[in-house]
Structure 1
Amino acid sequence: MACFLLTTLFISFHALIPSIHSSGHASTCRSFCGNLTVDYPFALRSGCGHQGFRELLFCINDVLMLHISSGSYRVLDIDYAYESLVLHDPHMSTCDSLVLGGRGNGFVVEPWRAPYLNPTPDNVFMLLGCSARSPLFQGFPGKHTPCRNVSGLGCEEYYGCPAWDVIDPRRDGPVYRSGPPDCCAMPYETIKSVNLSRLDCQGYSSAYSLAPLKVSGPGQWAYGIQVKYSVQGNESFCRACEATGGSCGYDIDGNNDLCMCGTWNSTSNCDTGCVMQSTQMHSAQENGLQR
């Protein structure tokens, strides 16, 4: 309150002189895109949010899009409590439709983003129409395939979807002999990236568990890519910043943490920075009076 009063006393003088600490940032970094709230660690403005998520989200005609090296995905949901996003790839197969021809984006994240952004452990990727030359099956002849269920989700149930009605899928057993199955399910951490060209696959589907809810078959699975995000860095800095009314951001030149406090920034929090700002305003006022 004292800081607010002090700033108010000098506001008229502040309006008459250039602000040497104004950085052009808005007073808050929280924004909206359609019906989704975009808040820390994400942002739509440069310098806002956590630097590990910079240039990641874009709002296009009220549709929130996430862009990584493998392509662009529509963001269906952001769960800040669970720290996850749900993404939609328009070329991803579902229970009602198979999309083949290698058109799906898959999911490949840039190496420097890997500590911040990865599919959740209960997200299953079902790779479709992979050739025997695929890296998935190298070294496996006569041995067990790498395919397996993830959190109760897998190909055996997925074969029962209406999308397979026009195809008689090859359902090889757990041992790789005559050829790979038409569907191979596995968790993301097994392959680290879903690159359809590199894996020599025709398509893919992705679903994630709705635990503790139980669904009665693949027709009710949650299709999409559920991604877990993680904030690497000084979380205590951000908590202190927000506790004093600031918005967490970073210096776009030096990549240092910044607390955005209206038209000026602080390297600690808005209480500390406000005192500094008010002192500098007071000095500016005195200089103005002496002229």
Structure 2
Amino acid sequence: MQSSALPRVPTTTVFNLLTLTLSLLLPLPSLPLSLCRTSCGAVTVSYPFAVDDGCGSPSFRRMLSCNDSDLFFATPSGAYKVQSIDYAKRKVVVFDPAMSTCSILQPHHDFALTDVQAALIPPSDDTIFAVLNCSVDSPVANHFKYLCSHDVGGHTCDEMYGTCASFRIFRPAAPQLANQSLPSPSLSPPTSTSTSPPCCFTRYATVKFMTMNMLDCTHYTTVIDAGGLEKSGPLDWTYGIELTYAVPESTACDRCKRSGGACGFDAESEAMLCLCSPTLNATLQALGLATEKSLLRGYHSTQPYLSF
């Protein structure tokens, strides 16, 4: 009677199974999630944003930076202080310290975003750009005047020139004050018999394609809450820029967060990773998200992460 031989198991399969078992039993190298900072000053920093490289979404990589207690949004035209991030409404409010407002006149300045930023996190329609002190030959006073509204919430350019202390310099003085110093901000603005220089209330799309030099205007300011400006005057408006963004859709990232991990990416390849929690339970749950191949890759790495 001939005995049947047991089938031979390939050596590579045995090795892979043993390696997988060890990767589940042995602790992963420790990289606490605290390395992905969750706040900067009073502003919460969460996905898709991050201030540490390898955290958050690679689409928003290096857009935010934390300087001591202040969070900044980096653009080609400068660093804008982040005042708040509303993750439910997906809105970010930033303020340009070099921008003119109703109370201070700043030097000539442009607002510019990279092409990626303009696509991923542009100013919302609730942000009004007021382009000030334009020449009579300005494109927005001639061929492109359809891009402008000459009042917003019932407020006109003349009102801004007359009400805001910083913008009164643009308002022609009455004849009796022509050779005198500017009036005190506490006094009512003088009545002018001349025409004030053109200005333009517009959206981001206008300043996106035309610089201040192209617009032939000297200054700009931005105001938030376009729908509520009629309830208050320029002195009480909220000056700043509201940005709106979309969160990259990723079921793997959602599963990672539910497991207690944090979504991140490889700094070299920008492949998405799950940065696992240092607690055992959350780590094992995060491990359960991956295939055998990614488990092995996560184990042999210097970081407790999983590739998606």
Same fold, judged at TM 0.5 (above): yes
Return closer, same or farther for 1:259/1:27 CA change in 2, 3 Å cut-off.
farther
Report the CA distance between 1:169 and its aligned residue: 5.3
* CA apart distance, 1:90: 1.5
Alignment of 1:93-172 (within 5 A): 93-99=100-106, 101-102=107-108, 104=109, 106-132=110-136, 134-137=138-141, 139=143, 144-148=145-149, 149=151, 155-163=157-165, 164-168=167-171
Q: Which amino acid aligns with 2:245?
A: Y
Letter matched to residue 147 of structure 2: P
How far does residue 157 in structure 1 lie from its aligned partner after superposition? 4.3
| 1:180, distance to aligned residue in structure 2 (A) | 9.1
The farther-off stretch of 44-53 and 206-215 is 206-215
Larger Rg: 2
CA contact (8 A) 2:23 2:296 kept: no
Q: Which residue is 2:218 aligned to?
A: 202
Partner amino acid, structure 2, of 1:252: A
1:244 is the counterpart of 2:259: yes
More helix as a share of residues: 2
Q: Using the alignment, how far apart are the partners of 1:40 and 1:147 within structure 2?
A: 36
C-alpha separation between the residues in 2 aligned to 1:151 and 1:244?
48
Equivalent in the alignment of 1:174: none
Aligned to 1:53: 60
Amino acid aligned to 2:38: S
Unmatched 5+ stretches in structure 1: 1-5, 171-178, 284-291
Which runs of 5 or more structure 2 residues have no equivalent in the other structure? 1-21, 174-194, 301-308
Secondary structure of 1:107 counterpart: coil
Residue 256 of structure 1: which of 248, 267, 271 is its match?
271
Report the Cα distance in structure 1 between the residues aligned to 2:230 and 2:196, rounded to whole angstroms. Answer: 30
How much has 1:91 moved relative to structure 2? 2.0
* 246 and 196 in structure 1: CA distance in 2 versus 1, 3 angstrom threshold: same
Distance in 2 separating the partners of 1:212 and 1:29: 37
Question: How well do the aligned residues superpose, as a CA RMSD in angstroms?
Answer: 3.8
Cα displacement (A) at 1:155: 3.0
1:235 maps to what in 2? 250
Aligned residue pair count: 252
Equivalent-residue separation in structure 2 for 1:155 and 1:258 (angstroms) = 51
Deviation at 1:40, TM superposition (A): 0.8
Instruction: Give the partner amino acid of 2:168.
Output: D
Q: Return the offset for 1:9.
A: 5.8
Instruction: Please report how far the alpha carbon of residue 138 of structure 1 lies from its aligned counterpart in structure 2 after TM superposition.
Output: 5.6
Any idea what SS the aligned residue of 1:165 has? Answer: helix
Amino acid at match of 1:224: G
Partner SS for 2:254: helix
What whole-Å deviation, never above 9, does each CA across 1:150-200 have from its counterpart, x for those lacking one? 566663543342323344259xxxxxxxx9944211011244357334433
The answer as to whether partners of 1:58 and 1:66 remain within 8 angstroms in 2 is: yes
User: Where does residue 289 of structure 1 map in the other structure?
Assistant: none
Q: How far apart in 2 are the matches of 1:254 and 1:281?
A: 15
Change (3 A) 1:25 1:195: farther
TM-score using structure 2 length:
0.68
Residue 140 of structure 2 aligns to a residue whose secondary structure is coil
How many percent identity over aligned positions?
A: 35
Question: Is 2:232 the partner of 1:216?
Answer: yes
CA 1:213–1:27: 2 relative to 1, 3 Å? same
The Cα of 1:27 is off from its aligned counterpart by 5.7
Paired with 1:180 and 1:168, the residues of 2 have a C-alpha distance of 5
CA shift for structure 1 position 112: 2.2
